[in-house]
């Protein structure tokens, strides 16, 4: 088929749909390569429409028959849909189409995964199931009949009826097509129940394939019930159907999907057991279950008018899942974790060729905009709004949002309007956070005279693709002041930076204070603050704000690393002594100490060098990181065994935050000890661990010192039957490989019989780890670039979405030296020139090349 030239879609071109849908009835006759989908759609002209053109989206469908009001028609069909003349009054459109789920390797629309039928319709997958106005502002009530011999047949809403070989479902809540879902398979359920705040009894199920997985649903179920309760307690939101189903599938492009009443999960995002899952897995599962559940209100009951408004549901829902995790675990640790992710991934995106506003203004393929900017920066915007209007203002605004927009397909303007109406605040300048791309830099100068301390803040946002000129934003900067003894003399206050440069004063101070700026990471900005190492070490020791205490250590570490990269220096002892004091302070949360002892990522160091106007050398950065780790190990050497022993949790494994924090610090000790003891302790931990967290950390410690071959073989032997555990086995070897070996290790793993590019988790295990091994990915040979390009070209023919996403590994190419640039550019061009390259990957590679 001839692929049309990729067409750009613009926010400014939005027009309301020509026809609305009152009801949809779908019948699925499931068969691997010949599934029939019968549709009966009740349309009515939209009184607000600007045209009467009738167009239904539809791709890769075989039309069997169609009719309008019972009269057979022969519509005009293109590669993207169907048109026909229609009455200027309500009418019923019916069609029968044939699709082939078994050969659908793109994992979008209706597809098969290990014998199970499942769907993924967000963003525009429903058009691969049948002809329909596949846009989120067309909402309708769905009734679904599924015919198949498979024992379990699920769809959205409540079960209506079932018999031998069929089941019917009815979803009373109008929804856009992207929230449609269907599952058919030989599945077993882990059942439970929940009573809502108004006393309604809800049936809960997690569905998995029969086998090992049945044992792995309990944690996810507990997380679901906690989420349901939390949303009632904190947001006053209750569940609204008789049943809530979650299904685990092995082949899935993303983490999970919030389809109404029938959430579909990547099995990695729901299945957990102590033997097979790490603490990080448990925490991620709890967060994703919460995230998808919270979408029931923020996404489903109130959806998006168009895909440019994606952050309306995603930013808010991420913000809500972050609040939830903070409440369940530790707010301080969660804030640090979120900042680490934001800086590592979103700042990288914002600084490179893929930078885009949280609400983009155009796209070729919407699947390419499920980004850290839309999700994580989108969540940061909500956090800033809450900081600016206060907790009460936020609560009033959210209550108004749910009242006013329940059942709507809404916009960012609607969202900001409820905050303006609820709090009386003018948000016109704040709205720029949605339209202006790039990470603002906030620079600091200060002075003290006659009891008055003056803090001058200046803001500047660098140019990004398509946006040269930036204007000042509203930036909430949380500041506290300490005196020389480390006492807090001015508690946290929010300074609202709205101009390019502004001075704030603090009176009545006996001496020049030490400022603690951007507490709690109060805005997603880069702080440019020339502090001395001594001042940073002081904050690391005394700051009362846990985020800034951690950040002082991180900034110090970054400065030390940069020094070491530049001139092979030995690390500043102020830093090493600070770490030692922190490690020995048993009053501090172990999870916090573990974070404080972790170095910034090598990619972060590379970006910091770029910010300093230098060209980073990934090999030199790797060496500096290794050397600093060794220095830390030596400096802390006397204390490591004691803390390691203290952190050994006794009794059966539990995934709670306190135990996980201890294991995290214990494992950090183990990594450092392994640098000195040749892996003795790690081998022992590997042999005795009864849980995956400690087993995997021990194996990683060994691999990082070039040992662990026997353990690696034993691990494979033990876990070869478990896909999710084997993903760890694949990934770990690549992430722990020495830089010069990384491409070879990855290439060898692609020859392993268990490697398959049809499973996104497996593909990501290898190639995500290759990207994460910064020095290995950027090895001067260029071998990793070539390998990744080879595989992306192969994968694109099967799964464009995952290919496009993984092509972002190349997005930092302009940071590096001419030789690396030439090699990366060649790899990108080779991908770009592949015949029949997908629209998804074409858009990404074109944008990366710039
Ligand atoms: N809405 C889901 C994410 C998601 C997006 C796209 C997908 O397929 C293209 C799948 C899932 C979420 O935020 O969890
Ligand atoms: Zn989401």
Residues in the chain: 850
- Ligand 1 site-directed mutation target among 110, 113, 257, most atoms within 8 Å of CB: 257
Mean pLDDT for the chain overall? 97
* Cα 338 to Cα 320: distance, rounded to the nearest angstrom: 13
Ligand 1 contacts CB of residue 314 (under 6 A): yes
Q: Ligand 2 mean position to 763 CA, how many Å?
A: 22
pLDDT < 70 regions, the chain: 1-5
Q: Ligand 1 mean position to 366 CA, how many Å?
A: 11
pLDDT of residue 3: 47
* Cα 215 to Cα 208: distance, rounded to the nearest angstrom: 10
Ligand 1 contacts CB of residue 292 (under 6 A): yes
Ligand 1 contacts CB of residue 235 (under 6 A): no
Q: What is the pLDDT of residues 779-827, one digit of tens each?
A: 999 999 999 999 999 999 999 999 999 999 999 999 999 999 999 999 9
What's the pTM value of the predicted model, to 2 decimals? 0.98
Ligand 1 contacts CB of residue 367 (under 6 A): yes
pLDDT of residue 346: 98
Q: What is the pLDDT of residues 472-489, one digit of tens each?
A: 999 999 999 999 999 999
Q: How far is CA 176 from CA 141, 258, 358, 691, in A?
A: 9, 12, 22, 43
Ligand 1 contacts CB of residue 755 (under 6 A): no
CA angle 675, 676, 681 (to 5 degrees): 85
Nearest CA, atom 9, ligand 1: 122
Nearest CA, atom 7, ligand 1: 122
Strands 188-195 and 152-155: unpaired
pLDDT of residue 588: 97
Provide long-range contacts, Cβ within 8 A and 24+ apart, for 687-695.
Answer: 690/274, 690/275, 690/653, 691/274, 691/275, 691/653, 692/274, 692/275, 692/276, 692/277, 692/278, 692/281, 692/725, 692/728, 693/278, 693/279, 693/280, 693/653, 693/660, 693/663, 693/667, 694/663, 694/666, 694/667
Ligand 1 contacts CB of residue 119 (under 6 A): no
Q: Ligand 1 mean position to 693 CA, how many Å?
A: 28
Q: What is the pLDDT of residues 127-162, one digit of tens each?
A: 999 999 999 999 999 999 999 999 999 999 999 999
Q: Ligand 1 mean position to 625 CA, how many Å?
A: 35
Which ligand 1 atom is at minimum distance from the Cα of 120?
Answer: 8
Which ligand 1 atom is at minimum distance from the Cα of 299?
Answer: 1
Please tell me the number of the ligand nearest to residue 258's CA: 1
Ligand 1 contacts CB of residue 14 (under 6 A): no
Q: Ligand 2 mean position to 375 CA, how many Å?
A: 8
Q: Ligand 2 mean position to 310 CA, how many Å?
A: 9
- Which is catalytic among the residues 25, 94, 258, 292? 292
φ, ψ dihedrals at 87, nearest 5°: -65, 155
pLDDT of residue 213: 84
pLDDT of residue 5: 60
pLDDT of residue 649: 83
Nearest CA, atom 12, ligand 1: 257
Q: Ligand 2 mean position to 260 CA, how many Å?
A: 13
Ligand 1 contacts CB of residue 365 (under 6 A): no
168 catalytic? Reply is: no
- Ligand 1 site-directed mutation target among 107, 109, 122, most atoms within 8 Å of CB: 122
- Give the tokens for residue 425: 């605040």
Nearest CA, atom 13, ligand 1: 314
Peptide bond into 577 cis (omega under 30): no
Helix (H) or strand (E) holding 410: strand 409-410
Ligand 1 contacts CB of residue 617 (under 6 A): no
Q: How far is CA 509 from CA 452, 454, 491, 495, 529, in A?
A: 6, 11, 13, 18, 22
pLDDT of residue 697: 98
């Amino acid at each position: 088929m001839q692929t049309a030239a990729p067409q750009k879609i613009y926010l400014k071109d939005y027009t309301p749909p020509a026809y609305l849908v009152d009801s949809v009835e779908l019948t699925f006759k499931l068969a691997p390569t010949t599934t029939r989908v019968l549709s009966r759609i009740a349309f009515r002209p939209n009184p607000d429409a600007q045209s009467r053109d009738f167009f239904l989206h539809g791709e890769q469908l075989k039309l069997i028959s169609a009719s309008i009001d019972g009269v057979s028609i022969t519509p005009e069909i293109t590669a993207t849909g169907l048109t026909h003349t229609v009455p200027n009054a309500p009418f019923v459109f019916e069609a029968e189409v044939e699709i082939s789920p078994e050969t659908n390797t793109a994992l979008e629309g209706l597809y098969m995964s290990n014998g199970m039928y499942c769907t993924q319709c967000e963003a525009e997958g429903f058009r691969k199931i049948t002809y329909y106005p596949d846009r989120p502002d067309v909402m309708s009530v769905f009734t679904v009949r599924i015919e198949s011999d498979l024992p379990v047949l699920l769809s959205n809403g409540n079960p209506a009826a079932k018999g031998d070989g069929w089941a019917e479902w009815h979803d009373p809540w109008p929804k856009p097509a992207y929230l449609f879902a269907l599952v058919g398979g030989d599945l077993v359920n882990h059942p439970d129940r929940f009573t809502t705040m108004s006393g309604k009894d809800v049936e809960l199920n997690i569905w998995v394939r029969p086998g090992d997985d049945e044992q792995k649903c309990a944690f996810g179920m507990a997380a679901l019930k906690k989420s349901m309760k939390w949303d009632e307690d904190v947001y006053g939101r209750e569940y609204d159907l008789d049943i809530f189903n979650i299904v685990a599938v092995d082949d899935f492009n993303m983490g999970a999907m919030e389809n109404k009443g029938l959430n579909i999960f990547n099995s990695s995002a729901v299945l957990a057991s102590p033997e097979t899952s790490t603490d990080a897995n448990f925490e991620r599962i709890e967060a994703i279950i919460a995230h998808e559940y919270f979408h029931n209100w923020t996404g489903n009951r109130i959806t998006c008018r168009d895909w440019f408004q994606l952050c309306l549901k995603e930013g808010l829902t991420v913000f809500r899942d972050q609040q939830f995790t903070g409440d369940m675990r530790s707010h301080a640790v969660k804030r640090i974790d979120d900042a680490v992710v934001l800086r590592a991934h979103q700042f990288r995106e914002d600084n490179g060729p893929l930078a885009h506003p949280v609400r983009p203004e155009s796209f070729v393929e919407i699947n390419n905009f499920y980004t850290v900017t839309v999700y994580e920066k989108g969540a940061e915007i909500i956090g800033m709004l809450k900081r600016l209007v206060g907790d009460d203002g936020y609560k009033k605004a959210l209550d108004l949002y749910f009242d006013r927009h329940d059942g709507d397909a809404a916009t960012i303007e609607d969202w900001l309007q409820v905050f303006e109406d609820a709090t009386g605040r003018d948000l016109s300048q704040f709205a720029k956070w949605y339209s202006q791309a790039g990470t603002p830099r906030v620079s600091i100068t200060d002075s003290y005279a006659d009891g008055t301390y003056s803090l001058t803040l200046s803001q500047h946002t660098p140019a990004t693709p398509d946006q040269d000129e930036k204007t000042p934003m509203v930036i909430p900067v949380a500041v506290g002041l300490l005196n020389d003894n480390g006492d807090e003399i001015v508690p946290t206050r929010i300074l609202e930076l709205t101009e390019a440069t502004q001075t704030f004063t603090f009176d009545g101070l006996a001496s020049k204070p030490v400022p603690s700026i951007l507490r709690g990471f109060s805005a997603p900005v880069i702080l440019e603050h020339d502090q001395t190492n001594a001042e940073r070490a002081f904050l690391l020791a005394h700051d009362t704000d846990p985020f800034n205490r951690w950040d002082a250590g991180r900034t110090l570490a970054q400065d030390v690393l940069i020094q070491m990269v530049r001139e092979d220096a030995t690390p500043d002892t102020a830093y090493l002594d600070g770490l030692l004091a922190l490690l020995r302070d048993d009053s501090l949360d172990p999870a916090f100490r573990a974070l404080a002892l972790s170095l910034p990522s090598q990619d972060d160091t590379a970006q910091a060098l770029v910010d300093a106007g230098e060209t980073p050398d990934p090999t030199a950065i790797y060496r500096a990181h290794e050397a600093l780790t060794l220095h830390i190990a030596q400096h802390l050497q006397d204390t490591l065994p004691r803390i390691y022993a203290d952190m050994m949790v006794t009794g059966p494994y539990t995934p709670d935050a306190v135990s996980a924090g201890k294991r995290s610090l214990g494992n950090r000790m183990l990594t450092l000890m392994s640098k000195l003891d040749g892996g003795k302790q790690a081998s022992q931990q590997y042999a005795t661990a009864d849980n995956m967290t400690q087993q995997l950390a021990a194996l990683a410690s060994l691999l990082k010192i070039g040992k662990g071959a026997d353990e690696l073989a034993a691990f494979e032997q033990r876990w070869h039957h478990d896909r999710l555990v084997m993903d760890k086995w694949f990934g770990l070897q690549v992430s722990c490989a020495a830089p010069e070996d990384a491409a070879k290790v990855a290439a060898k793993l692609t020859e392993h019989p268990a490697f398959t590019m049809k499973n996104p988790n497996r593909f990501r295990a290898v190639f995500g780890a290759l990207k994460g091994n910064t020095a290995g990915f950027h090895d001067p040979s260029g071998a990793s670039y070539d390998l990744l390009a080879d595989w992306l070209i192969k994968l694109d023919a099967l799964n464009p979405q995952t290919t496009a996403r993984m092509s972002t590994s190349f997005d930092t190419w302009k940071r590096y030296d001419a030789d690396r640039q030439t090699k990366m550019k060649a790899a990108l061009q080779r991908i770009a020139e592949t015949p029949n390259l997908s629209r998804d990957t074409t858009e990404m590679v074109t944008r990366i090349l710039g």
